[in-house]
Amino acid sequence: MKYAFSKRVRHLQSSAVRDILKVVNQGNVISFAGGLPDEELFPIAGLQAAFEKTFASGKKALQYAETEGYLPLRDVLIERMKRKGITSYSANDVLVTTGSQQAIDLFSKVVFNPGDVILAENPTYLAALQVFESYEAHVIGVESDEHGMIPEDLEEKVKRYRPKCIYVVPTFSNPTGKVWSMERRQQLLALAQKYHVIVFEDDPYGDIQFNKDEEYAPIASLDKKGTHVLYTSTFSKTAVPALRTGWITGPYQIIRLMSQAKQANDLHSNSLAQQALYHLCMDYDLDGHIQMLIREYDARMKLMLGELEKANLPGMSYVVPKGGMFFWIELDESVDTTDMLATAVERGVAYVPGSPFYVGKGKENTLRLNFTHSTPEKIEKGMKLLTEVLQENRQEIITP
């Protein structure tokens, strides 16, 4: 039988992220590809205790629950966001989602008609682009430098395209690892307010900040009336990914519709996990755990940085990450990282080619390296393998 599908499926494809997970699962390859935290650092004892407490709380913990999410957890999230200066919202304005990925999906579902425009950094989070495209929204890239979107280009494109939304990952972005300056955050919000556009602030990495003294206020914290910014984050990087628990907060009008859309999507997210995460926040020193993660990931980043400095390849450039999980590397223009991947994996090291992260045609001479999932030993070994592959690749280009 021949099946008839929706027009939407044209935009569906097995993504790089999926292929990454397959590489990672293939034994001997040292992978800098996936955006994975290190499972060896998971707070497994704390989490197990939190599950035990949830089971001990009675059978009702296992019944159907509210679409919006477990209320005590939403209260905790409000308190945690307040510490970041996000003060415009109450638990009613929070929707618990199946990872922050679902927050992007539900937002898109209630906001985009086919042909609607969304502005995004370029490059940006690949799986967000895939969601926007699955709703037939039209994504336009905005020029950026190491401080964030260029305000002039942003304003010009807001005026030209009248977008419904500006999507940003301003703090330790995926894939670039960059962090926006305070000035650019304020400029973005001012433009959003001037032209009545919603800012969708995706902040999965904000807690993994290496330098305590610097301050990166979420854009949502600057929006004192709580009218122009939706803010989403997740427990996947700070606790564990398997529980698939993220959340989104913002203007109630939008959150309420997203909640109704979620009801049709899946009724509610796993509520046992939500209750366990509530107990984890209450009984376990999650902040101390995050400090440990920061120390460990900072050390791994510096180790990778040292290897990059040693390699010192002509034409290579990168910004030293101030947090998060990624290095974003630009190579000599002659390099094609997609072509090079098979050789690298053969040699025992994996990365993600940078081009799929771009809106439209991407730079083929870019790649993303994750420094959180591999042990220090594997980072050293893997970076040596990668440097060899890069050097050989250069020589082949120079002497064909």
Question: 146, 156, 215, 266: which one contacts a second copy (CB under 8 A)?
Answer: 266
Tell me how far CA of residue 130 lies from CA of 8, 74, 264, 376, in angstroms: 11, 28, 21, 33
Task: Determine if 6 is a binding residue for a second copy (CB under 8 A).
Answer: yes
- Using the rule CB under 8 A, is 236 a contact of a second copy? yes
- 225 CB-contact burial (10 Å; exposed 0-12 / middle 13-18 / buried 19+): exposed
H helix runs in the chain, sequence order: 16-24, 44-56, 71-82, 99-111, 126-134, 151-161, 182-195, 219-222, 252-266, 271-283, 286-311, 337-347, 376-398
Establish if 280 lies at the interface with a second copy (CB under 8 A): no
Minimum distance from residue 353 beta carbon to a second copy (Å): 18
Between 207 and 223, CB nearer to a second copy = 223
Closest by CA to 349, choosing from 319, 320, 311, is 311
Give min distance, CB of 114 to a second copy, in A.
Answer: 9
To a second copy, the closest distance from the beta carbon of 301 in angstroms equals: 20
Judged by CB under 8 A, does residue 253 bind a second copy?
yes
Q: Quick check: 301 binds a second copy (CB under 8 A)?
A: no
> Closer to a second copy at the Cβ: 253 or 391?
253
**Closer to a second copy at the Cβ: 59 or 361?**
59
Smallest separation, CB 309 to a second copy (Å) = 30
Q: Taking CB under 8 A as the rule, does residue 31 contact a second copy?
A: no
* Between 195 and 348, CB nearer to a second copy: 195
CA atoms within 13 A on the CB side of 269: 26
- Cβ-contact 139, 129 below 8 angstroms: yes
From 124, 271, 337, 366, residue interacting with a second copy (rule: CB under 8 A): 271
Distances (CA, A) of 372 to 15, 69, 100, 208: 21, 30, 19, 11
Residue 356 DSSP code: G
Residue ranges in 168-197 that form contacts with a second copy under rule CB under 8 A:
196
Q: Using CA atoms in the order 209, 90, 121, 258, what is the torsion angle rounded to 10 degrees?
A: 130
Q: Which residues of 9-45 are buried (b: 16+ CB within 10 A; e: fewer)?
A: eeeeeeebbeebeebbeeeebbbbbbbbbeeeebbee
Contact between 393 and a second copy (CB under 8 A)?
no
* Closest approach of a second copy to the CB of residue 383, in Å: 23
x/- mask, a second copy, residues 77-116, rule CB under 8 A, reads --------------------xxx-xx--x---xxxxx--x
Binding to a second copy (CB under 8 A) within 42-71 occurs at: 42, 44, 47-48, 51-52, 55, 59-67
Rounded Cα distance between 36 and 398, Å, is 35
One of 273, 293, 341, 383 touching a second copy (CB under 8 A): 273
- Binding-site size for a second copy (CB under 8 A) equals 82
Looking at residue 297, its amino acid is Y
Give the nearest distance from C-beta 347 to a second copy in angstroms. 25
3-state DSSP assignment of residue 374: coil
- Taking a C-beta distance cutoff of 8 angstroms, is the pair 151, 183 a contact? no
**Shortest gap between Cβ of 357 and a second copy (angstroms)?**
15
Q: Which residues pair with 96 in a beta bridge?
A: 247
d(CA 379, CA 23): 17
Shortest distance in whole angstroms from residue 164 CB to a second copy: 6
Nearer to a second copy, 15 or 186 (CB): 15
Residue 188: CB minimum distance to a second copy, A:
16
Q: CB–CB of 112/131 below 8 Å? A: no
269 vs 366 by CB, closer to a second copy: 269
Residues 132-151 that bind a second copy (CB under 8 A): 134-135
